[in-house]
Amino acid sequence: MHMSYDSPNWLRRLAGQISQGQDLQAIFKTTVEDLCSFLEIDRVKICQFQPDGRGKVMAEAIHDNRLPSILASQFPTSDLSPYSQDLLVQSPGGAMINLKTNTICKMPSSNEDLSSFLVEKTTYLPVDSYSAQSLTKMGVKFSIVIPILYNETAWGILIAHHSETHFVSIRKFEVLRMVVDQLTVAVAQQTLRTQTQTKVEQEAVFNQIVNRLQASPNPEFQPALESVVAVLQGSGGRLCMSNPTQALPDGSVKNFAACLATSSQEVKVYACGSQPAIPSMTHSTLMEQYSLWKDHYQSGYYQVWPIENLFQTSELQPLFDAFRPTQICSLLMIPLTYRQQLLGYLSVFRNSAASTTPQMGLVASEQAIQGQVWTNLELAQRLGQQFAVAIHEYELSQQLHNSNTHLNTELQQQTIQLQQVAQQQQGLSELLVKIKAAIDPETIFQTTTKELCHLLKAERVAVYRFNADWGGEFVHDFEYVVSAWQ
């Protein structure tokens, strides 16, 4: 940005700090201090809007403690007063609020001469009673508000407060606009650096998770889940899949949907951190057994389902009682599919963001449930794919293991049967040899009953002799009985 010949030295220094890539927080600190002195105003602050819908005071400078400090305070942007919302949306050039004249002066956003706009095209709005009461309660009578834009959206806002009626010249407002432009450049540089660093860190964690899932022969599902919860900034998580120990008779692993529909014993769940508390009187014992997930994905289009505030999602009403006793508010459901077959669910939770509105020109409010926006959906989708592949390969390995075990059991049984048949044939051959060697019938029968008793592993073998009338009796001399049976 071009600097005019009479730009303050500190503004040139600010441009130098930004070009050197200095820390954004340090730039904010020196900027609010310089602006507080330059504008001769009581308080200057820079607020950043958070992804979860809150705002945070990042830097602050106060002159002679004339106004209270609100550094590091957080507030829900939903509590922004109507004038603040209007200024952010419709006044990228900023605005001045004067309670003495009860007016909001919207400044032009173009780079043309501000003085001509003030004279010819300046728009004045009345200060609504809500905003007037809020500012008066803080002891503020004059305020300047300028949004800090990045990618055509409000990254944050620069606000100046004064406890008395005040006047800022056009020249000073021009410098103030230069400062905001410089801050926009600093925010852009810092955002790019942060995004690059975050991507590097996420890739490192992603590779670590993949290595855990590819661990042979058993994937490390539990530590992999914990890493997913950490990289997605969750407070807890769950991995629900078929229980590979509950195999079908042929050794195959049962279908995941069928496992959910039958018994929780056929489902394997890994969990960490915050968890829902399923009421004991409900039919389903697991969160994943509720039909709402099946209903949501009935089209077969399995995509990550980000839920910012589950209590504001009507589809999740059956689970409200399970989450009410907890601090969980946000939910990210990742269906795990391989070739369009559902293999499980990976879910990540976030606790609610409880916040209290500070006295900073916003509506005061008590602690309230604040959902959190899920921003890493692409990473979540990639992680889900890796879990799905790992589960598929694990089920295949378990199926192969179960099949081998089943085959080994059958082989052992067949081997035992063959050994028994061989022993019986050997015993029968030996018996025939002994029968042929015997001369008299008495010896033949005695030998036969004895050998058959041992061969058949029986406790008693006897000979029954028929009479002519088909009556008969056991021949005592030909009977053989093991001693333990007598």
Domain of 324, CATH number, reads 3.30.450.40
Q: ∠ CA(328), CA(384), CA(308), 5° rounding? A: 30
Number of domains forming the structure of the chain: 3
How high does pLDDT run on average in the chain?
Answer: 81
What's CA 206's distance to the chain center, in Å?
A: 14
Residue 349, burial from CB neighbour count under 10 angstroms (0-12, 13-18, 19+): buried
Q: Are residues 335 and 432 in the same domain?
A: no
Asked whether residue 204 is assigned to any structural domain, the reply reads: no
- Tokens matching residue 26: 């340090």
Determine contact, residues 250/400, Cβ cutoff 8 Å. no
Asked whether residue 207 is assigned to any structural domain, the reply reads: no
| pLDDT tens sequence across 153-210 | 888 889 999 999 888 888 888 888 889 989 999 999 998 998 899 899 999 999 999 9
Per the structure, the complete domain to which residue 432 belongs is given by 406-485
Residues 251, 324: Cα–Cα separation, whole Å: 41
- Residue 474 CB neighbour total at 10 angstroms: 11
Residues 43, 138: Cα–Cα separation, whole Å: 12
- Tokens matching residue 402: 């179960």
Q: ∠ CA(385), CA(387), CA(388), 5° rounding? A: 65
pLDDT level of residue 90 (50, 70, 90 thresholds): low
Asked whether residue 1 is assigned to any structural domain, the reply reads: no
Q: Are residues 327 and 418 in the same domain?
A: no
Residue type (1 letter), 35: L
Q: Which sign, positive or negative, has the C-alpha torsion 376, 379, 385, 388? A: negative
| pLDDT tens sequence across 330-386 | 999 999 999 889 999 999 999 986 543 333 333 233 234 566 789 889 999 999 999
Q: Are residues 446 and 370 in the same domain?
A: no
CB neighbour list of residue 478: distance below 8 Å, 6 or more residues apart: 442, 445, 446, 449, 462, 463
Residue 235, burial from CB neighbour count under 10 angstroms (0-12, 13-18, 19+): buried
Q: Are residues 246 and 331 in the same domain?
A: yes
CA dihedral 233, 236, 239, 240 (to 10 degrees): -140
- Tokens matching residue 82: 């109507």
Asked whether residue 205 is assigned to any structural domain, the reply reads: no
Residue type (1 letter), 398: Q
Q: Are residues 181 and 284 in the same domain?
A: no
Q: Are residues 477 and 373 in the same domain?
A: no
At residue 366, the 3 state secondary structure works out as coil
Asked whether residue 42 is assigned to any structural domain, the reply reads: yes
Asked whether residue 202 is assigned to any structural domain, the reply reads: no
pTM of this prediction exceeds 0.85: no
Residue 134, burial from CB neighbour count under 10 angstroms (0-12, 13-18, 19+): buried
Q: Are residues 231 and 361 in the same domain?
A: yes
Nearest 5°: phi and psi at 68?
-70, 150
| pLDDT tens sequence across 264-286 | 788 999 999 999 998 887 778 89
Residue that terminates a domain, selected from 379, 402, 425: 402
